[in-house]
Amino acid sequence: MECGITEGVFPGGVLLVAGKGEILFIGAYGYADLFSRRKMTPETIFDLASLTKPLATALAVLHLHQGGKLNVEQPVADLLPIFQGREKNRITLWHLLVHESGLPAYRPYYLGLAGVHPLKRKEHLRLLLADERLEYPIGSRVLYSDLGFMLLEWVAEAVAGRPLDVYLKKHVYGEIYRSDENGLFFPELRFQGCNKPFAATEFCTWRNRLMIGKVHDENAYVAGGISGHAGLFGSAGDVWRLLSHLIGGFHGKIQKPLFRHEIMEMAFRPSPVGGRAMGFDTPSPERASCGQHFSKRTVGHLGFTGTSFWIDLERDVTVILLTNRVHPFRGNEKIRTFRPMIHDAVMEVFG
């Protein structure tokens, strides 16, 4: 980690290693903010970026599935009538969760939505999602898609009858974190006066400001800070508390898990087409970001801001790496080569 700072991979970061339900190591390195010279600590809160997909949106959908409110095999058109009669009417929630929906990977919606009244932006965004054309036949291959998880957020909110963050706080996070802890959370753009120790991300030229405690992703930002693909914040410890509960339930080590074993078994099972699990990634066959030593029974995810977690379900080892690699600018991509090296080093010691 110190070499990563010296070599300019990131200004700072927190590394957490856990095994068999216990934290084995946690360390903080470098700076949370280069401009103020504020140092990184284990309690630093990060913009988790796409970790929102497995740790928020997918869990909301799985919780609704477990409660019988929806079924992951259902077509989206059954739950959102606007999709009936369109080419997307055969897309199921499962297709969205494993990134096999045919939807594009990304669209810069924020450029057009910035001029829309803030209270109308999400409505306009969802109309754009409904009108998107598919880029390949549904279920034929995998294409990692932010749009798919924006759509999953829409589904979850329609079924639950409340915003994604509200549903998660009451039914998922509220069951895992103690009442005196915030745990993982979405800081809405309307939220002001927060003194939490956020890690800075990019100095954004579009917003003309240094992003601290506001979501880095532009599409999530323009939608109010809460989205299905990005917007979640938390510390390494917050991420670990949630993951440890999921892992414990998967291994049958928790008496009353939030998710039944069969639900987590389903969630962690790779798709035969693209190899992704439901909201979770799996190691790529070559040059995996989790390195060489994780078993084939591994799930995890990466976040654009420099965040990641990987869980070796076979060995019961978890590595959480949170950095601010986009600080002060996103062009630094040295973390691509750093990630496998740090995971190899960790597994050679703890694995």
| CATH number of the domain to which 150 belongs | 1.20.58
pLDDT tier, 195 (very low <50, low <70, confident <90, very high otherwise) = confident
Q: Which domain holds residue 87?
A: 57-161
Shared domain check, 125 and 230? no
Tally of domains within the chain: 2
pLDDT at residue 16 in the model: 98
pLDDT at residue 194 in the model: 64
Shared domain check, 79 and 124? yes
Shared domain check, 216 and 344? yes
Look at residue 155 and tell me whether its pLDDT is greater than 60. Answer: yes
Shared domain check, 171 and 278? yes
CA angle 148–233–330, rounded 5-degree value: 75
Q: Residue 57 carries which DSSP code? A: I
Shared domain check, 199 and 155? no
Look at residue 123 and tell me whether its pLDDT is greater than 80. Answer: yes
Shared domain check, 114 and 27? no
Give percent above pLDDT 90 in the chain.
93
pLDDT tier, 343 (very low <50, low <70, confident <90, very high otherwise) = very high
Q: Whole-angstrom Cα distance, residue 106 to residue 129?
A: 11
Q: Where are the alpha helices (DSSP H) in 71-215?
A: 76-79, 93-97, 109-113, 121-131, 146-160, 164-168, 174-176
* End residue of a domain, out of 161, 180, 212: 161
pLDDT at residue 179 in the model: 62
Q: What is the mean pLDDT of the chain?
A: 95
Residue scoring higher pLDDT (193 or 79)? 79
Look at residue 146 and tell me whether its pLDDT is greater than 70. Answer: yes
Could you give the C-alpha distances from 245 to 175, 239, 282, in angstroms and in order?
A: 10, 10, 19
Shared domain check, 181 and 149? no
Look at residue 124 and tell me whether its pLDDT is greater than 70. Answer: yes
Shared domain check, 180 and 147? no
* End residue of a domain, out of 127, 146, 161: 161
> Taking the CA atoms of the chain, what radius of gyration do you get in angstroms?
19
Look at residue 190 and tell me whether its pLDDT is greater than 60. Answer: no
Q: Whole-angstrom Cα distance, residue 4 to residue 10?
A: 7
- What single-letter amino acid sits at 13? G
Q: Which two tokens stand for residue 137?
A: 């036949």
Look at residue 180 and tell me whether its pLDDT is greater than 70. Answer: no
**Per-position DSSP letters for 300-331, written without gaps between them:** EEEETTTEEEEEETTTTEEEEEEE-TTSS-TT
Per residue in 108-120, pLDDT tens? 999 999 999 999 9
Q: From the CB of residue 207, how many other CB atoms can be counted at a distance below 10 Å?
A: 16
Average pLDDT of span 180-196? 73
Rounded to a whole number of angstroms, the distance between the first and last alpha carbons of the chain is 18
Look at residue 334 and tell me whether its pLDDT is greater than 80. Answer: yes
pLDDT at residue 108 in the model: 98
* End residue of a domain, out of 138, 161, 184: 161
Could you give the C-alpha distances from 294 to 290, 313, 315, 340, in angstroms and in order?
A: 7, 9, 8, 10
Residue that the structure tokens 């099972």 belong to: 269
Average pLDDT of span 69-89? 95
pLDDT at residue 188 in the model: 73
Shared domain check, 201 and 66? no
Shared domain check, 206 and 93? no
Shared domain check, 13 and 39? yes
Look at residue 201 and tell me whether its pLDDT is greater than 90. Answer: yes
Look at residue 107 and tell me whether its pLDDT is greater than 70. Answer: yes
Identify the CATH number of the domain in which residue 293 sits.
3.40.710.10
Say what angle helices 58-66 and 261-268 make with each other, to 10 degrees: 140
Strands (E) across the chain are located at: 12-19, 22-33, 38-39, 46-47, 203-204, 209-210, 233-234, 298-303, 307-312, 317-323
Look at residue 171 and tell me whether its pLDDT is greater than 90. Answer: yes
